[in-house]
Structure 1
Amino acid sequence: MNKTAVLYRMVTDEHICPFGLRSKDLLEREGYTVEDHHLTSREETDAFKAKHNVKTTPQTFIDENRIGGYDDLREFLGKGDAAQSGTTYTPVIAIFSVAALLSIAFQYFVKGDYISVRSFMLFIAFSMSLLAVQKLKDLFSFTNSFITYDLLAMKWLRYAYLYPFIEAYVGIGMVAQLPALLVAPFSLFIGTIGAVSVFKAVYIDKRELKCACVGGDSNVPLGFVSLSENLFMMAGALLMLMGECN
């Protein structure tokens, strides 16, 4: 049975509605033949919305019944929410996974093997560098979240602004294999303060907070992952200092 849907979406020289494209793609994946109508100007779009008494476009019609916008279409087709909602570990999983693959690839290129102490150090280094980038994208947002649980940042707010720069320096320094005494103390310092702060906030004070580890606008819950990040920093610092002593 041929299924047909009629779609009205905004397509102008200045703007192509992303939800219109998503609606078209979803309909086609569900086996619909789409009659794709473009609203090519603001005036045409406003006239369409007034005629059908709707506030937004795109609008989908199936069997001459108006389904609605993209979210309404997903509901009609039995799909879940499109946007990510609630707390999630997705950003951290993505960063740690990419960092692990980068460390393995780099180690294989340089040494011809995959797993070693050096590859573990590279994993820490790449993780710290990627996490620092997430924080540096919006320092105000990051610091606004960070100062709610980091013990030093609560006392000295400037530390919150310095933190991602120190983290990036340590990560890059590890990759470059700078002398341990130029890198390890910084890693040990921020890692120790971070670990104590997270442990106190989550496991002693039982506070439910969002972690600033991937930026201030994330929905990553503060907890085990955040503690692990800081423990990795401490472990990396200790390994560097042990290597310096040997």
Structure 2
Amino acid sequence: MPIDARKVAHDSTDPALAAQGKTAVLYRMALPDHLCPSGQKARWLLKRQGYEVDDRLFHERSDVDGFKEAHGVSTTPQIWIEGRRVGGYSDLREKLTNYDPKATTYRPVLYLFAVAAGTALALSIGVLGAITWQSLGWFISVSMILLGMQKLRDIESFTTMFLNYDLVARKWVPYAYVYPWVETGAGILMTGMLLTWLAAPAALFIATVGAISVFKAVYIDKRELKCACVGGNSNVPLGFVSLTENLMMMGMAIVMLIQIAA
């Protein structure tokens, strides 16, 4: 029989004793002005993993403070499974899904490129009525916009990572702050096929410097660094992805310059 999801936290049952088998004990806040998001996510994850949730809610701030003092913890939610306290939502996620927040991952880049590809296809079919070579151009330019926006989202973290390897930025720090604006602006102009005389040379310059910098850092100096391509604090390794990003920009810029000259 399902455990009452509105059970209050005043339950005196020892959570370690109650959390046996596939029953989990969850303490979370449900105050009049705050329903804890992490607590909701923890409850959802536990149910997804097949646990019956003994849901113990705090309705008063004083109850939260008393619980923290009694159990020697600084935050809620707190979860018990298999007779032991796991910790908060992040701890629970790591335990039940083997999630490692420090693990190398290409997911951010794959998601970004998937969105860019979908946008490029939508533009091609919606504007041109067919998939053409322009679809590839839009894919690259939209990717530039999205990558630039990721960098601008936390420009301080981006510049810190960027300064680890970019050859121009290491000589002139302001370049690290200018780079994402140039990438985003050039991507916007290329998507609209506007001011090509400005967008193409700008993209070619930053892409060429970027490609050389990445190649030197990774393949010549053999350094193991995180890529700043999707912004700061990412776990994407510097190498193939960043080099591909720069080579795509270079290729598109060269094609556009050839078209101008023709």
TM (norm. structure 1) is 0.88
Shift of 1:84: 3.4
Instruction: Give the AA of the match of 2:109.
Output: V
Structure 1 segment 123-134 matched on structure 2, within 5 A: 123-134=139-150
Match for residue 41 of structure 1 among 60, 66, 82: 60
Alpha-carbon contact 1:150-1:193 (below 8 Å) kept: yes
1:67, 1:73 within 8 Å by CA — same for their partners in 2?
no
Comparing 99-108 and 11-20, the one that deviates more: 11-20
Equivalent residue for 2:215, pick from 193, 199, 203:
199
Indicate yes or no: 2:234 matched with 1:218: yes
- The aligned counterpart of 1:84 is 101
Shift of 1:230: 0.5
Match of residue 9, structure 1, among 15, 20, 28: 28
Over 3 Å counting, the alpha-carbon distance change for 1:192 and 1:32 in structure 2 is closer
Counterpart of 2:31 in 1: which secondary structure? Answer: coil
How many angstroms apart in 2 are the aligned matches of 1:210 and 1:31?
36
Q: How far apart are the structure 2 equivalents of 1:210 and 1:53?
A: 36
Select which of 3, 7, 20 maps to 2:39: 20
Aligned to 2:203: 187
CA distance 1:37–1:124, shift in 2 (3 Å): same
Moved beyond 6 Å, runs of 4+: none
Among candidates 163, 167, 184, match of residue 168 of structure 1: 184
Q: Which residue pairs with 1:118 in the alignment?
A: 134
What whole-Å deviation, never above 9, does each CA across 1:131-170 have from its counterpart, x for those lacking one? 1101111221111111111111111111111111110111
Q: Secondary structure at the match of 2:34?
A: coil
Match of 2:171 in 1: 155
**Rounded Cα–Cα distance in structure 2 between residues aligned with 1:28 and 1:87:** 28
Tell me the TM-score normalized by structure 2: 0.83
When residues 74 and 88 of structure 1 are mapped into structure 2, their CA distance, relative to the original with a 3 A threshold, is: closer
Q: How many residues are matched? A: 242
Deviation at 1:49, TM superposition (A): 3.2
Q: Give the letter for the 1:42 counterpart.
A: R
Secondary structure (helix, strand or coil) at the match of 2:27 reads strand
Aligned to 2:6: none
**Gaps in structure 2 of 5+ consecutive residues:** 3-21
| Residues 52 and 157 (structure 1), Cα distance of their counterparts in 2 relative to 1, 3 Å cut | closer
Mapped to 2, the partners of 1:233 and 1:56 lie a distance apart of 46
The one-letter code matched in structure 2 to 1:21 is Q
2:225 to 209, 226, 239: 209
RMSD: 2.3
Give the distance between the partners of 2:27 and 2:241, measured in 1 at CA: 44
Contact kept, 8 Å, 1:103 with 1:122, in 2: the verdict is yes
Deviations 1:91-146, CA, capped at 9 Å, x for gaps: 111111110110011110011112x2211110111000001101111221111111
Pair 121,38 (structure 1): closer, same or farther in 2 beyond 3 Å: same
% same residue: 53
Where does residue 94 of structure 1 map in the other structure? 111
Correspondent of 2:120 among 103, 108, 112: 103
